[in-house]
Amino acid sequence: MLKSKRFFTYLFLSIISFVSIFPFLWMVISSTNKSVDVTGGRLLPGTHMMENFRKLLETTDLQLSLVNSAKISITTTVLALLIASLAGYGFEVFRSRSKDIVFNILLLSMMIPFAAMMVPLYRMFANVSDTLPWMGVDTMTSVILPTVTTAFLIFFFRQSTKMFPKELLEAGRIDGLSELSIFLRIFIPTMKTTYAAAAIITFMSSWNNYLWPLIVLQSPETKTMPLLISILGSGYAPDYGMILIAIVIGTLPTAIVFFLMQKQFVAGMTGSVK
């Protein structure tokens, strides 16, 4: 009885794992095959990968989209970490009743659906397009600004600050450091893992962001990877091999980050509810 239960457990978990991994395998294998073979159901690696890649470079501006995505996600990540950790630290270290009220109001923003903000946000950026062209519609700034501050990340840093040893803080004050340099020179280096977790989460959601860039980026020169993939995938006569290699390339950065930093990644996802 016990043995058969064990067997069922392994069988069930193996099936679930297989289903989870299979689309990845299929996408990598298919990116090495001709389009005909992909539709023919071929499940063995082929020799067509370079050909698919070459076609992708010919039909799209892959490098440009990769650079756009990288610029946006890296800038967003650096700024988001700085802004949110300053605030999370501030709300916890300089705790007061009025700040707690403000903090709770900020948390309410997590309930606001993006669908309800996208039209006013679009109009805000469209309105400044003439006077401030560098932050109007179709600029990197317009993609970054609305996504750079999240109450979630502030909350995450506030929770982590509770773990920060108060003795270090006092020691810094006794040494005569200013509050800002305590933050910069003691807090940041001590909380490296917290920053790593936050960086991964922010980078991933920024790299994968679709709806807002779809609305605010309109010219081909500003397209990010998800937009490029979406456009390729919506064609009526898709070249499967070529599109799948684009998807593989678009997924690589986040997959690499995940495998290199799995522990921090999981800590980042669950950190908010500890």
Residues numbered 78-137 forming contacts with other proteins, rule: CB under 8 A: 83-84, 86-87, 89-91, 93-96, 99, 102, 106, 109, 111-124, 126
Q: Between 53 and 89, name the residue whose CB sits nearer to other proteins.
A: 89
Cβ closest to other proteins, residue 64 vs residue 247: 247
Is residue 208 involved in binding other proteins (CB under 8 A)? yes
Please identify which residue in 76, 194, 202, 251 interacts with other proteins, judged by CB under 8 A: 251
Residue 263 interacting with other proteins (CB under 8 A): no
- Determine the Cα–Cα distance for residues 26 and 17; give it in Å rounded to an integer: 14
Determine, following the binding rule CB under 8 A, whether residue 24 of this chain makes contact with other proteins: yes
Within a 13 Å sphere around the CA of 232, how many CA atoms are in the beta-carbon half? 26
Per CB under 8 A, contacts with other proteins among 137-176 are 145-146, 148-149, 151, 154, 162, 166, 173
Q: How far from the centroid of its chain's Cα atoms is residue 164's Cα?
A: 26
Cβ 196 to other proteins, closest distance in Å?
16
Burial annotation 116-144 (CB, 10 A radius, 16+ → b, else e):
eebeebbebbeebeeeeeebbbbbbbbbb
Collapsed DSSP state (helix, strand, coil) of residue 177? coil
Cβ pair 45, 32 in contact under 8 A: yes
Per-residue contact track with other proteins, 46 to 85, x per CB under 8 A?
Answer: -------------------------------------xx-
The residues, ordered by sequence, that sit 6+ positions from 120 with a Cβ below 8 Å of its Cβ are none
Binds other proteins (CB under 8 A): choice among 181, 233, 260, 263: 233
Is there binding between residue 226 and other proteins (CB under 8 A)?
Answer: yes
- Does 219 bind other proteins (CB under 8 A)? Our answer is no
Query: Cα–Cα distance between 87 and 152 in angstroms, integer?
Result: 12
